[in-house]
């Protein structure tokens, strides 16, 4: 029997709302690493390790006076 060395994980879903802007993308970073530019009609849906993460979203291309927004998220095993 093979033993899985993968970390326990949960699922992260980030949905880009339609009124975000037709020519803009939401740049998603997890723990400082860019993981996606979410364009209109798309979303980010991936398994990530079950632990604390800092999610940061910014506008691409950057708009004058727009600032990235960050939150801390605790991902639980099997959670969404």
Q: What are the domain boundaries of the chain?
A: 9-74
pTM: 0.85
Q: How far, rounded to the nearest angstrom, does the alpha carbon of residue 5 sit from its chain's CA centroid?
A: 24
| pLDDT of 1 | 41
Per-residue pLDDT of the chain (80 residues; tens, 9 = 90+): 443 457 899 999 999 988 888 889 999 999 999 999 999 999 999 999 999 999 999 999 887 678 999 999 999 999 98
Gap between the Cα atoms of 13 and 30, Å rounded: 12
- Which CATH superfamily groups domain 9-74? Immunoglobulins (2.60.40.10)
| pLDDT of 56 | 97
| pLDDT of 2 | 44
Q: How many CA atoms lie within 13 A of 46 on its CB side?
A: 9
| pLDDT of 12 | 97
């Amino acid at each position: 029997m093979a033993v899985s060395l993968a970390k326990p994980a949960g699922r992260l879903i980030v949905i880009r709302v339609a009124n975000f802007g037709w020519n803009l993308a939401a740049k998603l970073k997890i723990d400082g690493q860019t993981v996606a530019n979410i364009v209109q009609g798309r979303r980010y849906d991936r398994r990530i390790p079950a632990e604390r993460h800092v999610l940061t979203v910014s506008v691409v291309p950057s708009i004058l006076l727009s600032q990235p927004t960050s939150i801390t998220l605790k991902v639980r095993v099997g959670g969404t």
